[in-house]
Structure 1
Amino acid sequence: MQQQQTLLFEIGTEELPPKALTTLASALALNIETGLNSLELAFDSVRWFATPRRLAVEVKNLQAQQHDKVVEKRGPAVSAAFDDNGQPTKAAMGWARGNGIDVSEAERLTTDKGEWLLYNAKVAGSHISDLVEELIRTSLSKLPIPKPMRWGNSKHQFIRPVHTVTILYGESLLDAEVLGIKSSRLIQGHRFHGKTNFELDHADNYLVQLENHFVLADFASRKQKIEQGILQAAEQEGATVDIDAELLDEVTALVEWPVILTASFEESFLQVPKEALIYTMKGDQKYFPVIDTQGKLLPRFIFVTNIESHDPEQVIKGNEKVIRPRLADAEFFYQTDKKKTLESRLESLNSVMFQQKLGTLADKSQRIADIAADIAEKIGADKTKAARAGLLSKTDLMTEMVMEFPDVQGVMGMYYAHNDGEDSEVALALNEQYMPRFAGDQLPTSMVSNAVALADKLDTLVGIFGIGMLPKGDKDPFALRRAAIGLLRIIMDNNLQLDLVELIAIAKQQLGDKLTNQSVESDVLEFLLGRFRAIYQEQGISVDVIHAVLATQPTKPADFDARVKGVSHFYTLESAQSLAAANKRVGNILAKNSVDSNAEVDSALLTDKAEQELYAQLEKSKQNNLDKLANADYQAVLTELAALRPAIDNFFDNVMVMCEDKAQQANRLALLNNLHQQFLNVADIALLQQA
């Protein structure tokens, strides 16, 4: 056997959960890689494979056997190892016997703490064949499987029943038992094509032999083939295709031998809003909708099958037959829903509870309307339209379409509002109230929509915090973190001059006596401020910069954003590190001495040239920065203050702040406080110590 060969491990199963497939496969590969590293076995690479009926890991050029080791085994201290006559004690003889040597064969280990008996034991390295079973068992036990299952009479558990286990090292089959199944060369082929099972002759032939049996085991290659096939099919239609990344992954996890086909449906179904049809095709049937160059849905769809049929027309007809009832349902729901206005559904919102302590959806809708009207007034939006949109915001939840297809909430509200003759901005706001729906999603496009989206998120945040149901750990049933980040993004990206303290107060007032948490306002504010870190870290902003701005507790998100950009620029300046250190020194001095924050500097008491110079430059920068601060031009403010560096360094080099003259001491503290406050107008740059 060669010294370095490929290790191949495959576990053949029943159909695995498609949405968990890549997570399981990558975790298995990582666990095996970690295990090999701990065993000190060298290898070139670790790669995973996954199909609906298998998980596999390939380790290239794996070292066959661990290197031999010399292990130091320290015995008893020499003083305790021999008696007064120089004879070995029981402790020494027991230790030597345990190591298979005589006491006379022991070496001595001398340190500054004493002398001990020592035996350098040679430990032979184990072969991979002796290590692999425990390695794989441990790797499988650490997989993220929330609900393992048993099958047959087996006591073993896995995410799905296991049929085969294969462990090859090169051409050698390694003897092992995993999940109650002995390792063999048997590999499951495609369920419908070719042989049901075949024997794998060599680890390096895994992919090739599987492909010969109609299985593309490499997930990435299979995904690429599917994507290219879908794009080619769409190109043949003279159109584009809506390739959703998550759907592509899911479809890839559902097939072993992908075949791409195109089918159609009746054009009459296009009278239904395209979002509902697309949701039905993608969500229920895993189909890819076809879109023309103007973004209009075509009566065609592309699908991926796991069978290479001799008569593909029969497969196409079968899929057309399956999708037709689903589209007919959507059409029926749409036509039925249009017979009632959204306004007529307001009463039915009283029958649906938003949250037991916070009332029904009718209560929430009225609060959203009132909050949205207040916000609209602040941002220059139409107050009446915002209130109307807020009032109707949840009515589409009572429609047949949304009850059947929850993911189209909001968008159906928009269509039904247009059908009812509602104002176009009101209709748009019914859809955009939920934006952004996920990280990186687009934001509302109108000011009325912004007002309603902010109102909805505020009501949920203040309401849930107000009854003491704060998110804990990864438990966030009301998606408060997403709501908070969405709220902040809307305000910052639109540069809305809104204050979080005022917004929270507006929402609290609408909730009235429903709230029991006395500290709800400070809790919500702290929670919102805490979301800034996640937003800016995603943009690559230094944590130091975020903390420096957070220290000053700015409660206007647009202002917070301007400060972050200003401090980020300052962070790159050559003078940033020394100014940050100086500010930290100033902060420490002021913290140890009681200084009135409004204390003024008496220029008559400035006797040293260095303090006179610093004072003069401070007064100049204060005047120069008045307009810059008013315009939130924090980059310019900090650039102005950065010019103080020589004067600050000179001050600390030549002036004793804590001098014996108490009046002069107080005056110098006031001067430092003046300096400190000018920087705090933007951020606490003392926290930029890693600059």
Structure 2
Amino acid sequence: MLKDKLLIELGTEELPPKALRQLSEAFSNSIVEQLNAAELAFTNTMSIATPRRLGIIVENLDAEQADKAVEKRGPSVDVAFDADGNPTKAAEGWARSNGITVAEAQRLTTDKGEWLLHKTVEKGQPIASLLPAMVEKALKQLPIPKPMRWGNSSYSFIRPAHTYTVMFGSELIDASVLGIQSDRHIQGHRFHSPEGFELAHVNDYLEQLRSHYVMPTIDERKSLIKSEISRISNDLNGHVVEDEALLEEVAALVEWPVALHASFSEEFLQVPKQALIVTMKDDQRYFPVEDSQGNLLPAFIFITNIESRDPQQIILGNERVVRPRLADARFFFETDKKQTLESRLKDLENVLFQKRLGTIADKSERIAGLAKIIASELGVDPNVAYRAGLLSKADLTTQMVSEFPETQGVMGYHYALNDGESSAVAEAIEQHYWPRFAGDELPATLEACAVALADKLDTMVGIFGIGQTPKGDKDPFALRRAAIGILRIIVEQNLQLDLVSLIEHAQVQLGDRLTSSTVADDVLEFLLGRFRPMYQDKGIAVDVIQAVSANRPTRPADFDKRVRAVAIFKDEPEAESLAAANKRVGNILAKVDSDIPSQIDADKLQVAEEQTLAAKIHEAQSTVAPDIESGNYEAALKRLASLQQPIDAFFDNVMVNDDDPAIRANRLALLKQLRALFLEIADISMLQ
């Protein structure tokens, strides 16, 4: 069968950079899915995505579908003919729909009867006739929240479209979309090649695109930008402040990236570097540069979309642009320092947190109170935690944070030090937002941990307490992120805190603002439910997590120890047999509808195997207890693994449901103690 290379390209005005990859992947995935559904074979695909085009290249694509043998079963012979052997209306209608007469129909005989059958060959469609509808469907499926119209057109798309090309090898396929007819014309670079070019064959597309100053993929441009900013930062004896999102966005802003560097006055370095970094990144899409000690250098790297004959003019232009923005940041910083954080607390009374939960001032007082309690439980200075909690949100009213919201917490740190607050208070103010996202660093001090936990718990208990729980993908208060943050802080800092107690303390702080009577249970369930995704992300098997979750440990650090111990135990040779035995024991005990004795009567142990198991259980109860008490669950499970042989021997040689009620009850008591021994750690019957 004839095969060739396919190109689909839609030329547009500049597409939104933050959505470019998503748009490209959605378009390519849709085309690939439709080609597969049409049973058209191909080898590789390549997504084309630049600020001014979306497209895909498909290699070694079938020129047409293969012919397909089709069998269409009709009514059964009993239904197809009446008592006189004449075709019924059902048979005639079926035959007519297939373009034949009943007499021309074949017969299909199976063990269930005989049916009318029509065999035909469905002619495969050429790619040229299939593609127009495929492209139209792919474009309609794109995630476009706000489509726009342009000119006098009735069509709508994310941006105005100007060119459309669908080619199979050297053949231009007759198709139209968004009112544009397929053409060989391809847009070049807006400035270096505004006239574009005519494409003779798809094989020439990539080479010609690059010769007209267009790099066709996001990843190609991203790789070049990454290499160039690394080279330039090395020349500046520094390194670029890493920001994957910025790198992705810049790669989606340009078709022909050229890296240059510029500088700014050192006087601006008196401003906290985070504010300067946000200014350069968010406003100008610049790459700030730091030295080896993490100090900001008075230089930045930027990406331009043209190869200028006089790059110095571009550099000077960018330096002129950034100076007023840095000057604004310096002005905000100097102005904000004239007012202390403490004096700003009254301003927080005018900032609403949630209408039923009060203002940010109310929240700050609750955070302070709860942080003080948590700090006391952790054995650190409660006054530091209280003070940091009280001032934790004060920087929200500063000009700097109002202009650059990303600097909240960071500016609180600098303003606290300026006010004469201790470094411990300042650090806790900055770090109480941590972790801000998956994988982010945790608060470094226990006082900061106390404030961070207090903030997150107050939000979670408060929002649950007024019945506004997350639903589906709607989580306006980021409670899922807060829950993971709470668990990560407690687990990774090995804090001996109990969720039940923390929730209760948060409830007390919130007082009568809460309306839900089940808030404590709801929040606990929500937090316990976050363990599964958290540990799955770490590569822990679901059955291990479920085995531990069955016991509902409410101390996250203890949950972590159990999960790690069970994960190791699962790989032990005895694990499979012991898991099966525990499942069997659980099933036996679940069927008992009478009370099971709590103690084993040694005089009623009739068989050697049950006597041995009883002795081993008694021995394990005493040897395992210290390990469980200290949280050394790995050692405890290793000891319990020695029960495998006596348990197997018991089930091989002992009838649990003995005819003698007393002996049966005693054996059930034995199994009950065995089950309880393992359940002190986890329900290993859930292990697969």
Map of 1:682 onto structure 2: 681
- 8 A contact 2:596–2:665 mirrored in 1: no
Moved more, 344-353 or 651-660: 651-660
Map of 1:572 onto structure 2: 571
Structure 1 residue 563 displacement after superposition: 0.3
* Partner Cα separation in structure 1 for residue 138 and residue 650 of structure 2: 62
- State the 4+ residue runs in structure 1 displaced beyond 6 angstroms: none
Map of 2:314 onto structure 1: 315
What whole-Å deviation, never above 9, does each CA across 1:439-476 have from its counterpart, x for those lacking one? Answer: 00010111111111111111111111111110111111
Q: Structure 2 length normalisation: TM-score?
A: 0.98
Give yes or no for the alignment of 1:432 onto 2:431: yes
Code of the residue aligned with 1:565 in structure 2: it is R
Structure 1 residue 187 displacement after superposition: 1.2
* Partner Cα separation in structure 2 for residue 666 and residue 562 of structure 1: 35
- 8 A contact 1:188–1:197 mirrored in 2: yes
- 8 A contact 2:264–2:299 mirrored in 1: yes
User: What aligned pairs does 1:223-302 form with structure 2 within 5 A after superposition?
Assistant: 223-302=222-301
User: What aligned pairs does 1:175-194 form with structure 2 within 5 A after superposition?
Assistant: 175-194=174-193
* Partner Cα separation in structure 1 for residue 233 and residue 409 of structure 2: 29
* Partner Cα separation in structure 2 for residue 211 and residue 18 of structure 1: 20
Moved more, 230-239 or 488-497: 230-239
Map of 2:652 onto structure 1: 653
* Partner Cα separation in structure 2 for residue 503 and residue 444 of structure 1: 18
User: What aligned pairs does 1:254-653 form with structure 2 within 5 A after superposition?
Assistant: 254-594=253-593, 599-653=598-652
Code of the residue aligned with 1:361 in structure 2: it is I
Structure 1 residue 94 displacement after superposition: 4.2
Count of residues in Structure 1 that have an aligned counterpart in Structure 2: 688
* Partner Cα separation in structure 1 for residue 569 and residue 428 of structure 2: 39
Moved more, 232-241 or 495-504: 232-241
- 8 A contact 2:596–2:668 mirrored in 1: no
Code of the residue aligned with 2:661 in structure 1: it is K
- 8 A contact 1:207–1:218 mirrored in 2: no
Structure 1 residue 653 displacement after superposition: 1.6
User: What aligned pairs does 1:70-81 form with structure 2 within 5 A after superposition?
Assistant: 70-81=69-80
Structure 1 residue 615 displacement after superposition: 0.4
Structure 1 residue 91 displacement after superposition: 4.3
Structure 1 residue 84 displacement after superposition: 5.0
* Partner Cα separation in structure 2 for residue 590 and residue 83 of structure 1: 63
What whole-Å deviation, never above 9, does each CA across 1:99-158 have from its counterpart, x for those lacking one? Answer: 333444322101122212211111110000010011111122222222222223333222
Moved more, 18-27 or 203-212: 203-212
Map of 1:6 onto structure 2: 5
* Partner Cα separation in structure 2 for residue 80 and residue 421 of structure 1: 95
* Partner Cα separation in structure 2 for residue 610 and residue 143 of structure 1: 68
- 8 A contact 2:3–2:62 mirrored in 1: yes
What whole-Å deviation, never above 9, does each CA across 1:383-408 have from its counterpart, x for those lacking one? Answer: 11111111111111111111110000
Q: Secondary structure at the match of 2:18?
A: helix
Structure 1 residue 90 displacement after superposition: 4.8
Code of the residue aligned with 1:668 in structure 2: it is R
What whole-Å deviation, never above 9, does each CA across 1:173-228 have from its counterpart, x for those lacking one? Answer: 00111122111111111111123332111112111111111111122111111111
Identity of aligned residues (%): 59
For the aligned residues, what is the CA RMSD?
A: 1.4
* Partner Cα separation in structure 2 for residue 356 and residue 83 of structure 1: 76
Code of the residue aligned with 1:465 in structure 2: it is F
Moved more, 162-171 or 112-121: 112-121
User: What aligned pairs does 1:153-172 form with structure 2 within 5 A after superposition?
Assistant: 153-172=152-171
Moved more, 64-73 or 141-150: 141-150
* Partner Cα separation in structure 1 for residue 363 and residue 85 of structure 2: 90
Code of the residue aligned with 1:380 in structure 2: it is G
* Partner Cα separation in structure 2 for residue 85 and residue 458 of structure 1: 82
Q: Secondary structure at the match of 1:346?
A: helix
Give yes or no for the alignment of 1:39 onto 2:38: yes
Q: Secondary structure at the match of 2:36?
A: helix
- Give unmatched runs, 5+ long, in structure 2: none
Map of 2:104 onto structure 1: 105
* Partner Cα separation in structure 2 for residue 400 and residue 369 of structure 1: 24
Structure 1 residue 337 displacement after superposition: 0.7
Structure 1 residue 483 displacement after superposition: 0.6
* Partner Cα separation in structure 1 for residue 87 and residue 595 of structure 2: 77
Map of 2:207 onto structure 1: 208
Structure 1 residue 575 displacement after superposition: 1.6
What whole-Å deviation, never above 9, does each CA across 1:328-374 have from its counterpart, x for those lacking one? Answer: 00000000011111111111111111111111111111111111111
- 8 A contact 1:81–1:91 mirrored in 2: yes
User: Kindly tell me: are residues 86 and 353 of structure 1, through their superposed partners in 2, closer, same or farther at Cα, counting changes over 3 Å?
Assistant: closer
User: Kindly tell me: are residues 597 and 440 of structure 1, through their superposed partners in 2, closer, same or farther at Cα, counting changes over 3 Å?
Assistant: farther
* Partner Cα separation in structure 1 for residue 79 and residue 663 of structure 2: 70
Q: Structure 1 length normalisation: TM-score?
A: 0.98
Code of the residue aligned with 2:206 in structure 1: it is L
Map of 1:137 onto structure 2: 136
Structure 1 residue 93 displacement after superposition: 4.2
- 8 A contact 2:10–2:164 mirrored in 1: yes
User: Kindly tell me: are residues 658 and 598 of structure 1, through their superposed partners in 2, closer, same or farther at Cα, counting changes over 3 Å?
Assistant: closer
Structure 1 residue 571 displacement after superposition: 0.8
- 8 A contact 2:250–2:285 mirrored in 1: yes
- Give unmatched runs, 5+ long, in structure 1: none
Structure 1 residue 593 displacement after superposition: 1.4
* Partner Cα separation in structure 2 for residue 595 and residue 190 of structure 1: 82
What whole-Å deviation, never above 9, does each CA across 1:233-277 have from its counterpart, x for those lacking one? Answer: 112212211131110000000001111111111110000000000
- 8 A contact 1:185–1:199 mirrored in 2: yes
* Partner Cα separation in structure 2 for residue 489 and residue 94 of structure 1: 68
- 8 A contact 1:595–1:670 mirrored in 2: no
Code of the residue aligned with 2:640 in structure 1: it is L
Q: Secondary structure at the match of 1:682?
A: coil
Moved more, 397-406 or 112-121: 112-121
